[in-house]
Amino acid sequence: MIERRTVFKAALAAGAALVAAACSSENGGNALPTGAAGADGEGGQPVAKITAEPAADAKDVPVLKPAVLKVADGKLTECKLSADGGKTVKGDLSPDGLTWTSSEPLGYGKTYTYSAKATGSDGKPVEFTGKFTTITPAKQVRATLNPADDQTVGVAMPISVKFASPVKDRKAVEKALSVKTDKEVEGAWGWLSDSQVDYRPKEYWPQNITVNVEAKLYGVDLGGGAYGKADVTTKFKIGRNQVVKINTPEHQMHVYRGGSKVKSYPCANGLDAEVDRNTPNGTYIIMSKEPSAIFDNARYGYTNVNKKWACRFSNHGEFIHENQDNAANIGKTNNSHGCVNLLEADAKDYFDSAIIGDPVEITGSKLSPPMNSDVKDWNFSWAAWQGLGAK
């Protein structure tokens, strides 16, 4: 009996030695498992297998594509992805321990090294290593977004994304854009040029709502070797509903709040006898406000003319402003070069009530809307505006 117990203890000791050898052995090389066969040659290779996406040595990997490490017949115990210079990329391990996924965008033109360890269902460890390289854009294109954060704007204010270079893949851009509001609003994106896309609602914005815009452009393939340089976002508010309405033959400027007329001011508009000097028909927005503005127009022989309380509503050259020098004609005759002239007290009163993005609706003129203005969004019908989206 003593001899039999001694033999049994010796067998246990030999088994322990085999387990220790299996846990400590390592095989070098890319994507090769660790864990050799047992000391007696009968243990076999570990059953766990780690795979990666992107695959080892992949080139021109998109920066928005997450790196994924997976294991079969085992569980991941350690995962790491690092860029040039050693910066570690953040990632998440699934609750079941089968998948690790990077959780932040990758950088352009970088080489990433991943490494992983896992324990197989047979208790044996495996390791995995590899490298891949991300895309290097021919050009990185910056974009700007308007309105800016925390602004309060009028109910006709469009959202505008402008690119530093022309965009070829408009569909890719639109997929990266989102607009969220407190209330349901029907709206659409329209391309005003190869480097500008605007969003406007079908009707004016509902008053007193918050608008959140995301342009997740980093990593987006814009076409022609160009990629988005960075994401841009904004959060702004729509203010009270205030609309200016001018029927030019009436020589009156009416201000509506919430649909009700609250003010009327006598005005003088563009000269009726010269179509080129008419205040053009159309729907515009207040683009800027200047307490004092200098006006020059060599074509009509005036320079360095200073007028107060100027609200620009078109890059074609139209403003609502004070012109006390023209008081005799205000409310009676249209004789300006296209601007809306008000008496000084009325101009100040309106100036104080206006905000950027308020609509200005002009009717009764012989001049069509100028389509060379920066903000011409509302001079398209809704059907025509929808036709400006990516095809």
Residue owning tokens 């309060």: 152
CATH of the domain at 117: 2.60.40.3780
Query: Are the beta carbons of 236 and 153 closer than 8 angstroms?
Result: yes
Last residue of a domain, one of 79, 107, 136: 136
In the chain, what is the greatest distance between 2 CA atoms, to the nearest angstrom?
130
The answer to whether position 221 is within a domain reads yes
| Domain shared by 246 and 353, yes or no | yes
Last residue of a domain, one of 181, 202, 237: 237
CATH of the domain at 337: 2.40.440.10
| Domain shared by 231 and 288, yes or no | no
Calculate ∠ Cα 387-388-391, nearest 5°: 80
Residue count of the chain: 391
Q: Would you state the pLDDT for residue 372?
A: 84
| Domain shared by 261 and 196, yes or no | no
Q: Measure the CA–CA gap between 279 and 367, rounded to whole angstroms.
A: 7
Q: Measure the CA–CA gap between 61 and 67, rounded to whole angstroms.
A: 10
Query: Are the beta carbons of 152 and 355 closer than 8 angstroms?
Result: yes
The answer to whether position 329 is within a domain reads yes
Neighbours of 390 (CB within 10 A): 15
| Domain shared by 246 and 367, yes or no | yes
Q: Measure the CA–CA gap between 255 and 203, rounded to whole angstroms.
A: 18
Q: Would you state the pLDDT for residue 198?
A: 98
The answer to whether position 20 is within a domain reads no
| Domain shared by 364 and 336, yes or no | yes
Tell me how many domains the chain contains: 3
The answer to whether position 3 is within a domain reads no
| 359: exposed, middle or buried (Cβ count in 10 Å: 0-12, 13-18, 19+) | buried
User: Could you read off the pLDDT tens digit of each residue along the chain, which spans 391 residues?
Assistant: 333 333 333 333 333 332 222 222 233 334 444 333 333 334 679 999 999 999 999 999 999 999 999 999 999 999 999 998 789 999 999 999 999 999 999 999 999 999 999 999 999 999 999 999 999 999 999 999 999 999 999 999 999 999 999 999 999 999 999 999 999 999 999 999 999 999 999 999 999 999 999 999 999 999 999 999 999 999 999 999 999 999 999 999 999 999 999 999 999 999 999 999 999 999 999 999 999 999 877 777 777 889 999 999 998 889 999 999 999 999 999 999 999 999 999 999 999 999 999 999 999 999 999 988 889 999 999 999 999 999 8
| Domain shared by 252 and 296, yes or no | yes
Provide the edge-to-edge strand list for the sheet that holds 252-257. 260-266, 252-257, 242-247, 359-363, 282-285
Q: What share of the chain is helix, strand, coil (3-state, %, to 5)?
A: 15, 40, 45
CB-based contacts of 273: which residues, under 8 Å, 6+ apart? none
Catalytic residue among 79, 267, 311, 339: 339
Last residue of a domain, one of 113, 136, 159: 136
Segments forming the whole domain that contains residue 63:
46-136
| Domain shared by 255 and 218, yes or no | no
| Domain shared by 284 and 368, yes or no | yes
One-character DSSP codes across 143-197: EEEESPTT-EE-TTPPEEEEESS--S-HHHHHHTEEEEESS---EEEEEEETTEE
How many CA atoms are closer than 13 Å to the CA of 17, on its beta-carbon side? 8
Q: How far is CA 219 from CA 100, 108, 140, 191, 233, in A?
A: 22, 8, 9, 21, 15
Structure tokens at 227: 């990629």
Query: Is 316 known to be catalytic?
Result: no
| Domain shared by 154 and 200, yes or no | yes
The answer to whether position 156 is within a domain reads yes
Q: Please give the distance of CA 256 from its chain centroid, rounded to a whole number.
A: 33
Structure tokens at 98: 């089968």
Query: Are the beta carbons of 36 and 28 closer than 8 angstroms?
Result: no
The answer to whether position 76 is within a domain reads yes
The answer to whether position 33 is within a domain reads no
Query: Is 254 known to be catalytic?
Result: no
| Domain shared by 361 and 258, yes or no | yes
| Domain shared by 262 and 281, yes or no | yes
The answer to whether position 113 is within a domain reads yes
| Domain shared by 167 and 200, yes or no | yes
Q: Would you state the pLDDT for residue 43?
A: 60
Catalytic residue among 251, 316, 321, 337: 321
